[in-house]
A and B are shown apart, each in its own frame.
Chain A
């Protein structure tokens, strides 16, 4: 059992926000569960993984950098050069002792560094060698991202480490394998490593990139201007270096007779987790959350309970955090939250909606409205698109999601944000539309 009393390992805490009061016959219990990891040290600093390492050392980690080397990366040639520079910047951000590998991706995956099916251990020498190897990168060939991911998985699993992470850069559509191939690759990699995905330029498919990040519990974003790649790669690597505990799962216990309607991450981004449940003993299931550094995330849990008489109280769900082990046991990270149901005939109590629940219900609808609006716009249904994007503008405005509101304003002309009255812009920059779509799931927290 890990000793969590040490000061430099993260402490997890959990807060539950809900209105536990249900009217007579009420069945649906909603709660926002805020999970916060603190005390693990600063991002990128030397910190300790719970199981394996003594204080003073960083958590053992392995990182695979997957760089698109398809022919299109040469149009314009600055794209390849920027990708090379960005990868070099990411390598410079590697902490000493971290295992790493660089993969060049086309319709096949090639080991760029160190090669031989191994991973290198970061130090001054290997970092320099890796950067030398990057110079040999040239553009040419197709795109089959599934093969890159499978190679990354092979390399990462060769290292005995706590945190396994990938960084994937693509500039084009996944044209040289079927969507099913990519799906299968994602399924086989899910839970084995986490991966951030970036699309550079505007010739890539938003749903592919966000799908990769979502399946592998990482972030997705657009880097429309290749010049911005180096800064973005550095940031991603810093975040990866700040991770302290890997493979954390949200464990949900629910009593007999209840149904879990959904479990989603709602901050910092909306991520549906309901279907990713793996059973963990009687009436308990684990939902993957990936690796954690010093950070805080919110989850929306919705449970349907059997109706009970006024005056009754029950536990609708018990939420905890675990690190599942291969042998079926799990290490409990200590934090726990209770989601309760109390039946009352006090209408004031049972009809009020918890502000956190209301807020995140709105944020989830905002993400959905943007997706649907953009899809309708592409399909040529401009009335439908106007209605959906108008609703999105309205929701972003009420909830104070200023970033999303700004992105929306590049796609529609906002007439009145309060009522959601908008006009579709006649001409929209492709990058703006893709940025909005990629970042549509970003949420903000409740205004204090």
Chain B
């Protein structure tokens, strides 16, 4: 998994890291630890016993460099390689709580107190809320009881020419979105990029498991089908069906310990996917997650590529309301199509485009498009160099949603068109 996003150097002391490191080999910095959220106010401020550790001789240098360097560079995967998209790494601690200043602080300085305590490999972590209690096996603080940041709270992945970012947002207690991205080669050797984004249905049981299962199944399916010569549109259709089966299967599994609920309904999620080849752009979806086309040359018009399975979209389609009225209604986001055992019937929509100019496809959940609904708004939010810096652009878009209020989980994948060979990934 050389293409997993991986910090190239320790955020604390710049020691070069190896793939799969969970702690820095030099200073012991816990690479999976997140610094506390800026909007968090500890409920109880206790004198932290670790205060005494502060000011040790550990070098704590803020990391001024750009986004973590992708290691995908010169490592082309063989076409039969297993899909690279599914597993995602924990966040590197990036948050865009104010307008991002790209070259300034993609990586925050680590909290030395957090780093200190987790330093002796495998020791229990300190609570990020009160900084006095240890974190128990269930992920809660043994002192103040607060839930600790989870791996899925913020996820980033860069994979060859494309990238995706997912964030819990500011108002939800967990991230119920998931994504799966990857790239492969068609039988004729030309490259293809794949991005799948899923949004768990909150009113259902275990929406986070549903979105993860769907994103994994779909990306694995399409990444396996494309090298075999399956037409991208067919491959994406099949992938959505595979994702649907994966979500349906969850309905039979026992609930995980954390989500113990006596009254269950079937796990469910939306899905949107994009496949980009050297000449073709295919999107497929079920639900209200979307794909937008944003050309590099902004003088030509951007476009929304998907049609929501939602109450609002149906109202507009039926001519009963205009778009503004429909989206102002509180039922606007009620979805009329989803993946899950309780879905009426699975109707995967796919559409195929042949853009005549370069651009990027923004594949996102409603956590983003609520803050940039119209194609033109979305185009304005997308940085001009999105095709060259997809990870940066995905972060900027997540930041756009958080600035707007971050009322929902936000997940964005940025896929440049046309697909370029794997060696020419973003810098």
Contact = CB atoms under 8 A, between A and B. Distances in A.
B138 A315 contact: yes
A343 B173 contact: yes
A314 B130 contact: no
A107 to B, nearest CB: 53
Interface string A228-272: 000000000000000000000000001111100000000000000
A240 to B, nearest CB: 32
Contacts of B140: 314-315, 318, 338
Interface stretch (B28-36, B37-45, B311-319): B37-45
Nearest to B141: A255
Interface stretch (B67-75, B143-151, B241-249, B297-305): B143-151
Interface string B138-177: 1011011111000000000000000000001111111000
A58 B138 CA distance: 37
B151 to A, nearest CB: 15
Given A306-B44, A309-B39, A17 B144 contact: no
A345 B407 CA distance: 9
B331 to A, nearest CB: 13
Nearest to B147: A313
B262 interface: yes
Contacts of A65: none
A306 B174 contact: no
A353 to B, nearest CB: 13
Contact of A309 (B41, B141, B143, B145): B41
Main secondary structure of the interface of B (DSSP, over half): loop
Nearest to A310: B171
Nearest to A14: B260
A258 B173 CA distance: 20
Nearest to B139: A315
Contacts of A255: 133, 141, 143-146
B145 A312 contact: no
A257 B171 contact: no
Contacts of A342: 173
B334 interface: no
A206 B150 CA distance: 55
A15 interface: yes
Interface string A310-333: 111111101000000000000000
Nearest to B174: A313
- Of A313, A338, A342, A345, most buried by chain B (CB within 10 Å of CB) is A313
B43 A311 contact: no
B228 to A, nearest CB: 43
B46 interface: yes
A358 interface: no
Contacts of B169: 311
B260 A16 contact: yes
A338 B174 CA distance: 17
Interface string B247-262: 0000000000010101
B173 A257 contact: no
A313 B262 CA distance: 20
B147 A314 contact: yes
A280 interface: no
Given A16-B260, A311-B173, A312-B173, A258 B145 contact: yes
Contact of B46 (A256, A308, A346): A256
Nearest to B406: A311
Interface string B43-65: 11010000000000000000000
A309 B39 CA distance: 9
Given A309-B41, A310-B171, A315 B260 contact: no
B146 A311 contact: no
Contacts of B44: 256-257, 306
A174 interface: no
A60 interface: no
A344 interface: yes
Contact of A15 (B138, B141, B258, B260): B260
Given A15-B262, A17-B262, A257-B43, A315 B147 contact: yes
B145 A311 contact: no
B79 to A, nearest CB: 43
Contacts of A316: 145
B145 A315 contact: yes
A306 B146 CA distance: 11
A34 B344 CA distance: 35
Range, interface on chain B: 20 to 34
B130 A256 contact: yes
Contacts of B138: 315, 338
B171 A311 contact: yes
Nearest to B169: A311
A342 B174 CA distance: 10
Contacts of B260: 15-16, 338
Contact of B145 (A16, A17, A314): A314
Interface in A293-314: 305-306, 308-314
A258 to B, nearest CB: 7
Contacts of A312: 40, 146-147, 173
A342 B140 CA distance: 13
B325 to A, nearest CB: 23
A27 to B, nearest CB: 11
A345 B143 CA distance: 26
A15 B143 CA distance: 23
Contacts of A17: 262
Given A255-B145, A314-B144, A315-B140, A306 B170 contact: no
Contacts of A343: 173
A313 B43 contact: no
A273 to B, nearest CB: 21
A254 B172 CA distance: 24
Given A15-B260, A308-B43, A311-B169, A256 B147 contact: no
Contact of B143 (A256, A305, A310, A338): A256
A306 B171 CA distance: 18
A258 B171 CA distance: 23
A254 B145 contact: yes
Interface string B113-148: 000000000000000001001000010110111110
Contacts of B145: 254-256, 258, 305, 314-316
Contacts of A306: 43-44
Which of B138, B171, B173, B407 has the most chain A CB atoms closer than 10 A to its own CB?
B173
A343 B407 CA distance: 13
Nearest to B257: A338
- Most chain A CB within 10 A, of B138, B145, B202, is at B145
A16 B143 CA distance: 21
A344 B44 CA distance: 20
Interface centre among B43, B147, B258 (most CB of A within 10 A): B43
Contacts of B39: 309
Nearest to A17: B262
Contacts of A15: 260, 262
Interface string A6-43: 00000000011100000000000000000000000000
Interface in A318-375: 318, 338, 342-346
Which among A17, A254, A314 has the highest number of chain B CB atoms within 10 Å? A314
24 contacts: A255-B141, A255-B143, A255-B144, A256-B44, A256-B143, A257-B43, A257-B44, A305-B145, A306-B43, A308-B146, A309-B39, A311-B170, A311-B173, A312-B40, A313-B147, A314-B43, A314-B146, A315-B138, A315-B140, A318-B140, A338-B260, A344-B171, A345-B171, A346-B202
Interface of A: 15-17, 254-258, 305-306, 308-316, 318, 338, 342-346
Q: Which 6 A-B pairs have the closest CB atoms?
A: A255-B145, A315-B140, A313-B147, A315-B145, A313-B173, A314-B145
Given A258-B145, A314-B145, 7 more contacts: A17-B262, A254-B145, A256-B44, A256-B144, A312-B146, A315-B145, A315-B146
